[in-house]
Amino acid sequence: MTRQMIQNVKQENVIELMCEVLELSESSEKKVTKAVEKLGIQAFFTSIDALDVEEVEKDRIKALKEVIEAKVKSLEALEGGQ
Amino acid sequence: MATKAKYSDSFFQSLNKLTGIPMSKLKSYAKENNPFNILEHPGVVDPNDRQLEKINKLNEFIASYNVLKLDQENEKITFKSPNDSGKYFASLLGGVKDKERFLVAFLDNSNSIIELRTVSQGTTNMAVVYPRDILKMALANDCSSIMLSHNHPGGSLKASSEDIALTQRIVDIFRPLDIKVLDHIIVGGYSFSSMAENGVLPNDRMDVANYEPIKLSAAEEEQVEYTSVDEEMEL
């Protein structure tokens, strides 16, 4: 298995979990999957506002982004010797 | 560890939205504890079966996301040419025919995206852009430059005189702040054109900044240069 293939499998797994956490509609799942595949996971989270999904789903994606960012900050604070 | 000051209401709202755990429980626990303990040891908030399932899923997602993020660490979206930015915006606006959408990408000093925002979403032939909103977002993102893009639902790739005037006004607003407007990408169908590449991006003139809302109507004319983006985007 090449490195790229491994990364694709990891990405598919992340997309699948994300769609389950967010409880997206079928059509939104397709749009989100396409966007992550095109942009990568990090750029996807910087482009939420441009996604063509329902506002309520967009809000849940933004909520996920906020939790991820808060988690990173929390770990940084711990690693910083707090 | 007291966490009271570190987490905002919107953070607790986000956690509530994703897990279904009531805000009161989350806040009460976070008064004296790290709220992320809830994800690692859900029992501390006595969740019901549904909430427990959501917490476990969220945990699993965060772990997988962090691994993938490490793999993709160096894959930030960076605009090195009008072709890069055109493909990026066409992947977001390509095929949108029912409404006109205006996007702004806020960039750091290496032209990598800090954040992308929709600043206006109008009807098939008109969108209203509020420069003040763009300015607020730019300052919040502490960006070095910005990139504009909107779609023409009718498919034309030519910048209309209104598109050029709008761009000029945004350039005038940002110039004193040393924030450069790098380009304005117009997307029609699944193709795009770059105002910078076509030499119609205003950058030299300095008008008095005007913060009134801008009405952008799709007075679409014959198309000029375009680039196909049928192939996969490679950034």
Express as a percent the part of chain B with pLDDT over 90.
Answer: 33
* CA nearest to B180, candidates B140, B141, B208, B146: B146
Q: Do B96 and A52 touch (CB under 8 A)?
A: yes
Kindly tell me if the per-residue pLDDT of B138 is higher than 80. yes
Domain residue extents for chain B:
9-71, 82-228
Give the span between the Cα atoms of B80 and B196, in whole angstroms: 13
Q: Do B71 and A10 touch (CB under 8 A)?
A: yes
Q: Is A9 on the interface with B (CB under 8 A)?
A: no
Q: Are B35 and B7 in contact (CB under 8 A)?
A: yes
For residue B54, which residues of chain A lie inside 8 Å, CB to CB?
21
Q: Do B14 and A67 touch (CB under 8 A)?
A: yes
Q: For B195, phi and psi rounded to 5 degrees?
A: -65, -35
Kindly tell me if the per-residue pLDDT of A55 is higher than 80. yes
Nearest to A47 among B34, B36, B116 (CB): B116
- pLDDT given for residue B49 in this prediction: 92
Domain residue extents for chain A:
3-79
- pLDDT given for residue B235 in this prediction: 31
* Sign, CA torsion A46/A47/A49/A52: negative
Q: Do A67 and B58 touch (CB under 8 A)?
A: yes
CA-based nearest residue in chain B for residue A56: B17
Q: Do A14 and B61 touch (CB under 8 A)?
A: yes
Kindly tell me if the per-residue pLDDT of A81 is higher than 60. no
Predicted confidence band at A1 (pLDDT cuts at 50, 70, 90)? Answer: low
Q: Kindly state the average pLDDT of the residues A12-31.
A: 92
Q: Which CATH class is domain B82-228?
A: alpha beta
Work out the number of other CB atoms within 10 angstroms of the CB of residue B31: 10
